[in-house]
Structure 1
Amino acid sequence: MKNNVQLITYADRLSGAGIPELHELLANELSGLFSGVHILPFFYPIDGSDAGFDPIDHTRVDERIGSWQDIKALGSDCEIMADLIVNHASAESSEFRDVLAQGKGSAYWDLFLTKDKVFPGGASEEQLALIPRPKTSGCFTPYTLATGEQVDFWTTFTDSQIDLDVKSGLGREYLKKVIKTFADSNISYIRLDAAGFAIKKAGTSCFMIDETFDFINELSDLANKAGMKSLVEIHSYYKTQIEIAKRVNLVYDFALPPLVLHYLSSQDVVPLVNWLKISPRNCITVLDTHDGIGIEDVAGKDGLPGLLSQEQIDKLIAAIHANSGGGSEKASGAAASNVDIYQVNCTYYDALAKNDLNYLIARAIQFFSPGVPQVYYGGLLALENDLQLLADTNVGRDINRSYLNKTRVAAAMEKPVVKALSALIRIRNQSKAFDGLFEISGDKQKLCMKWLNGQSSARLVVDMAQQQATVFLSDGETQQQIALEQLLAGG
């Protein structure tokens, strides 16, 4: 993966149309900004119960937005990341419908996970209490077979996302088929979506157990042999992330978004500095994605301290709700239909009270943090919370999943904060310093982040007490000093 800024987007929600139009945007309006793009689920259908993360057919591009040929064409011009949805498939898939019709006589019976496959003698309350629940209801959904028999299927996320039995022969073949399809279509990276939930074992949490690590290793090896690398998507305790990073190609730095918000809202830089001294270097950095802002990534676990204390987390969540005018509160937890109760749903721009300078500082910190930066399309355009879409769907994450078109994109690109962010992206892409060694220091309100690579250096100095941030660049012959306030003013 090139060490340049990457884009995360839905093909249709950014372009207003599909994959060819996204390709055109990247080649024109967004030219020079991104060397790669993570295209969020483009499989059939893109508009299921979880915005494409519940595929009916994981090897079929939704014809409404394009084809595999369109994916191949885009992959010839930039690196593409696609989602391998590891944990589940749609209840509307032909395989699951056959299971409902044929029961245990179905050729696909072993593809899906039932409660009794993990708990053949039944599950005790103590066993069930060990299992984390991303949604407010339980882990199982009863489905009635054509015979009249009622069966409890595992549904970790929504009731219409049926968990796969990835340990079965059919489950493994299913995933291998998707990996081969990706490799044949110019895809360079696969994101292992919800892989931490894929392995279930009685008497455990059924999340990131020892067997899960083995399973992730197997999938990563399959991807590597097919010429691709993998990114593991897991929200978890920070020490777990560090351990996962040792075993895979790439992980997310999901701790960064709340830690940056904490710094900018409380002017306390220490937790951020402490984390970036030990954070995985083989990571993808984000501030926002199609999901919410993760909280468990900085929280404690089983009595062990987290990157933030519970008091700090409570203040951070309250600050997000206040900064967004209560919009995030309407979209998070039990207030809306959510598949993850451990996240706050809000655009990052709203989480910072639409303060242009603070938003640009947050992006500068992201770009100077170890790892390859990805920027979500809503973050690129500094979008505000989409309260109308939230009201229309009552899906919490939709507050940060706006539908745009070329006209809206063009208008957003003219905003001073977006122009300044685009300039910052180009600075990050063009400096050779970011391929070198990283240093960080900070105290209370002040932060200094530095990269050094031979004669090239890049340094970010932030002083929240003075509301100032400056980038210093050098290539050995010329020096440049850029105040972020200057970028916002068009300088």
Structure 2
Amino acid sequence: MKNQVQLITYVDRLGGQRDGADLARLTALLSEPGAPLAGVFGGVHLLPFFHAIDGADAGFDPIDHTRVDPRLGSWADVKALTERLDVMADVIVNHMSSESPQFLDYSEKGEASAHAGLFLTLDAVFPNGATERDLLTVYRPRPGLPLTYATLRCGERRILWTTFTAAQIDIAVRHPQGRAYLSGILRTFAANGIRMVRLDAVGYAIKKAGESCFMMPETFDFIGEFAQEARALGIEVLVEIHAYHQRQIEIAARVDWVYDFALPPLVLHAFAFRTAAALKRWIAIRPANALTVLDTHDGIGIIDIGADATDRAAYPGLVPPEELDALVERIHEASGGESRKATGAAASNLDLYQVNCSFFDAMGRDETAYLLARAIQFFLPGVPQVYYVGLLAGHNDMALLARTQVGRDINRHFYDADEIARECQRPVVRRLIELIRLRNRHPAFGGDFSLQPGGDTELHLRWQNGSAWAALRVDFASRDHALEYSGEAGEAQRFAFS
């Protein structure tokens, strides 16, 4: 993976029209001379582009994981993009759509189906039955049990594992059919030039009676095996897990890449409470093989800096619980109450550990603070990713939220070509693009990183590569700040945040 900033985007929500040419249109936007975003990014994470992109979970419930939704284009279009940029795609490890051909065949034929072993049932995990205690032990990021009672079309009755929604049927990943299904996805990706994959929902993939069924030792083993298979095909693996911060450190030691999901709430905490203390504690221990993010297609994670739910006293969070609660309220205040309408039990939202809000609105639309937050992200070791709404300093899409009543849609705006061109002319967006280019091109970021000494309100970050250097200083109390770097002749230059 190149050490350059990557874009995270849906194919159809950044200038798309769902007319079969969206992938080609995105390729042009990111690479054709004169296009607004030409040459800005070193790579792109394409959020689910499989058939179909508009199911129960915006593509994260694929009917056919090896088919490009024809409204976006074809595998040839994907391959053309991979010839210009690094491309990451999702492997939805844990589940597939209840409308998939495999599940429909299973529903028609029951145990006589060739796909009967592909789907996980309750008795496959609890052959002797499950007690109340067994079921309460299962870790849940969403309300309710991870099970759905179903009467198949053939008349057979089953209790199916459905970790997320009843339309997303969990896969028996240890069954030969489950392994073959996932291996087929990897081979398809490799054949079409994809060299990076994100394992979506992999923390829930392994189930074991009497255990949490989330990030168990057996889950680590599965991740390791899957990553080994991917590497044999020339594919790097990113593991997506929202969990207690020590779990991320443990996971990072065993995979190619993890997300730094603690960073977004810690940056917001630093600005809200005018302190760098918690952020600096994390910087001192965080894994370096991380993709740094401030925003993604999901909400702003809270669990990532909180205490471990299994033992809050023994495993405290990066910030005290009262400050964590206050941070959520401050995000709601900064967004003018909009995030409250999309978070928690509101708007059919199921991810109770996330606040749904665009990052720009979560920072109260303060352009200087927003650019400083991006500078902090770009200065930390790892590969930065910028979500398409964040790239354009986007606002909460309350109209889309009202139409769908899906909390996360508040930060999943559909931009047309004219809107992209217009937004790219805003000063905050122009400066962010300049900051991305600086991060991609300056040789200092290929050298050594250091966290410089300073008081609790001060954050000093520095990169040094021979005579090339770059330094960022932020005082969260006074809001004094500076980003300086070496020029071609060695002279100090300064980035203008405003």
Alignment check: 8 A CA contact 2:201 2:240 kept: yes
Q: Superposed, which structure 2 residues align to 1:69-108 within 5 Å? A: 69-108=76-115
For residues 409-429 of structure 1, the C-alpha deviation after alignment (integer angstroms, 9 at most, x for no partner) is 011101111011011111111
* 8 Å contact kept, 1:455–1:475: no
Residue identity opposite 2:239 in structure 1 = V
Report the residue type matching 1:446 in the other structure: E
Of 290, 294, 304 in structure 2, the residue corresponding to residue 287 of structure 1 is 294
Q: Give the TM-score taking structure 1 as reference length.
A: 0.97
| Correspondence list, 1:287-436, <5 A | 287-301=294-308, 302-303=311-312, 304-436=315-447
Structure 2 CA distance, aligned partners of 1:336 and 1:104? 38
- Name the stretch that deviates more: 10-19 or 468-477: 468-477
Match of 2:467 among 455, 460, 468: 455
Report how many aligned residue pairs link the two structures.
486
Whole-angstrom CA distance in 2 between matches of 1:277 and 1:434: 18
Q: List per-residue Cα deviations over 1:339-387 (Å, max 9, x = no partner).
A: 4221111100010011101101100000001110000000000000011
Tell me the residue number matched to 1:161: 168
Q: Distance in 1 between matches of 2:226 and 2:398?
A: 38
- Is 2:47–2:89's contact at 8 Å kept on the other side of the alignment? yes
**Secondary structure at 1:414 match in 2:** coil
**CA displacement at 1:164 relative to structure 2:** 0.3
Show the counterpart of 1:135. 142
**Separation in 1, partners of 2:154, 2:441:** 64
Match of 1:10 in 2: 10
In the aligned structure 2, how far is the partner of 1:211 from the partner of 1:461?
A: 43
Contact preservation (8 Å) 2:368, 2:497: no
**Counterpart residue identity of residue 13, structure 2:** R
CA contact (8 A) 2:291 2:382 kept: yes
Q: Is the 8 A contact 2:275 2:476 kept in 1?
A: no
Matched position secondary structure for 1:48: coil
Task: Give, in whole Å, the separation in 2 of the partners of 1:250 and 1:129.
Answer: 31
CA positional deviation for 1:476: 7.5
Map of 1:431-442 to 2, 5 A cutoff?
A: 431-441=442-452, 442=454
Unaligned runs of 5+ in 1: none
1:177 — aligned with what?
184
> What amino acid is the match of 2:158?
V
Q: What percentage of aligned pairs have identical amino acids?
A: 53
For the pair 1:25 / 2:29, whether they are aligned, the reply is yes
Query: Which deviates more, 29-38 or 119-128?
Result: 119-128
Residues 81, 189 of structure 1: 8 Å contact kept: yes
In 2: Cα distance, 1:450 partner to 1:58 partner: 42
Please report how far the alpha carbon of residue 121 of structure 1 lies from its aligned counterpart in structure 2 after TM superposition.
2.0
Cα distance in 2, alignment partners of residues 257 and 222 from structure 1: 32
1:35 and 2:42 are equivalent in the alignment: yes
Which segment is superposed worse, 461-470 or 349-358?
461-470
- 1:338 deviates by 2.6
TM-superposed deviation, 1:16:
2.0
The 2-side partners of 1:25 and 1:370 are apart by: 28
Tell me if structure 2 keeps the 8 A contact 1:42–1:65. Answer: yes
**Is the 8 Å Cα contact of residues 276 and 370 (structure 1) preserved in structure 2?**
no
Query: Whole-Å Cα distance in 1 between the matches of residues 81 and 480 of structure 2?
Result: 39
Cα deviation, 1:267-322, whole Å, max 9, x if unaligned, reads: 11111001011100111000000001111111111121111111111011011011
Instruction: Judge conservation of contact 1:461–1:469 (CA < 8 Å) in 2.
Output: yes
Moved more, 410-419 or 174-183: 410-419
1:53 paired to 2:57: no
Q: For the residues of structure 1 that align with 2:474 and 2:182, how far apart are their CA atoms?
A: 45
Q: What are the Cα deviations for residues 159-212 of structure 1, in whole angstroms up to 9, with x where unaligned?
A: 100000000000000000000000000101011111110000011100000010
- The answer as to whether partners of 1:472 and 1:479 remain within 8 angstroms in 2 is no
Please report the RMSD computed on the Cα atoms of aligned residues, expressed in angstroms: 1.1
Q: Which residue of 1 aligns with 2:485?
A: 473
Q: Does 1:235 align with 2:242?
A: yes
Q: Which of the numbers 443, 457, 460 marks the counterpart of 1:445?
A: 457
Distance of 1:284 and 1:146 partners within structure 2: 44
Residues 39 and 81, structure 1, Cα contact 8 Å, conserved in 2: yes
3-state SS in 2 of match to 1:15: coil
For structure 2, which runs of at least 5 residues remain unmatched after alignment? none
1:445 Cα shift? 2.1
How far off is 1:475 after superposition? 5.2
Aligned equivalents of 1:453, 1:158: Cα separation in 2: 49
- Equivalents in 2 of 1:378, 1:99: separation in Å? 39
The CA deviation string for residues 374-410 of structure 1, in whole angstroms up to 9 with x for no partner, is 0000000000001110110011110000111110101
One-letter amino acid of the structure 2 residue matched with residue 372 of structure 1: V
Instruction: Write the letter of the residue equivalent to 1:451.
Output: W
Contact persistence 1:459–1:471 (CA under 8 A): yes
Work out the CA distance in 1 between the residues paired with 2:62 and 2:350.
16
Other structure's SS at 2:317 match? coil
CA contact 2:205–2:219 (8 Å) conserved in 1: yes
> Residue 90 of structure 1 contacts residue 162 of structure 1 at CA under 8 Å; is this kept in 2?
yes
**Where does residue 251 of structure 1 map in the other structure?**
258
CA distance in 2, matches of 1:224, 1:416: 42
Tell me which residue corresponds to 1:149: 156
